Amino acid sequence: MIDRKNLPALVAAAAAAAVLAYLLKDSLRAPEAVRALPKAPPAAAAPTAFGKAPPVLLPGGGQRDLTRPPGKLLIVHYWATWCPPCVTEFPDLLAFWKEYGKNPALDLVAVSVDEDWKTVDDWVRKVGAGGVPLALDPRRAAAKAFGTEKFPETYVLSPTGQVVDKFIGPVVWTSPAVRRRIDELLKAPRAAPTGG
């Protein structure tokens, strides 16, 4: 039998447990990007929707036009040093690139939306994250042209420049599911690049 003196405490404990269960309900699920991976590349990949994206800045003052057909599978990863999920994800991206970066059919560019190179360079040095090819999009113009407003977000482009996959949120780059997907895309038939 329940003692009436303890009833308010029991009700409060039950309510707190219900709120906690609701808040933690998705905490053990894999990130959306990993759960939503397609089994195989689409038969006819959609053309890019960002045909007029401005170039991003490269270290040393160069530029890279992400709308040009890359001629190889290209991973375009938008991130920032001030973004906690981006910072948490970066070591995994670095581990992925240390292994996959040797493949001549694959390229990666991690596009920071920070305001300047000093911020990015200082962060990379501080955390020992060198080795990932970087670019800068300080006005977020290229990111917006891709449709990115929240970070991190990643696009995988075919050699002809078509979007063949998109990851929203942080990705577990060392997970078997992500590696299988990248391997599938690397094995997909390659069409000749168009445009120039």
State residue 34's pLDDT score.
41
Position 87 pLDDT exceeds 70:
yes
The domain spans of the chain are: 35-187
Burial class (CB in 10 A: 0-12, 13-18, 19+), 57: buried
pTM over 0.75: no
| Residue with more model confidence, 56 or 37 | 56
Q: How far is 171 from 71, CA to CA, in rounded Å?
A: 24
- Token digits for 140? 């977020």
| Residue with more model confidence, 54 or 81 | 81
Q: How far is 172 from 95, CA to CA, in rounded Å?
A: 10
- Percent of the chain scoring above 90 in pLDDT: 57
- Angle at which helix 84-100 crosses helix 117-127, to 10 degrees, equals 70
Please name every residue paired with 136 in a beta bridge, in sequence order, or none if there are none. Answer: 57, 112
**Torsion angle (degrees, nearest 10) of CA 187, 188, 190, 195:** -120
State residue 44's pLDDT score.
36
> Minimal CA–CA distance to 66: which of 156, 189, 171, 173?
156
Fold category of 35-187 in CATH: Glutaredoxin (3.40.30)
| Residue with more model confidence, 122 or 18 | 122
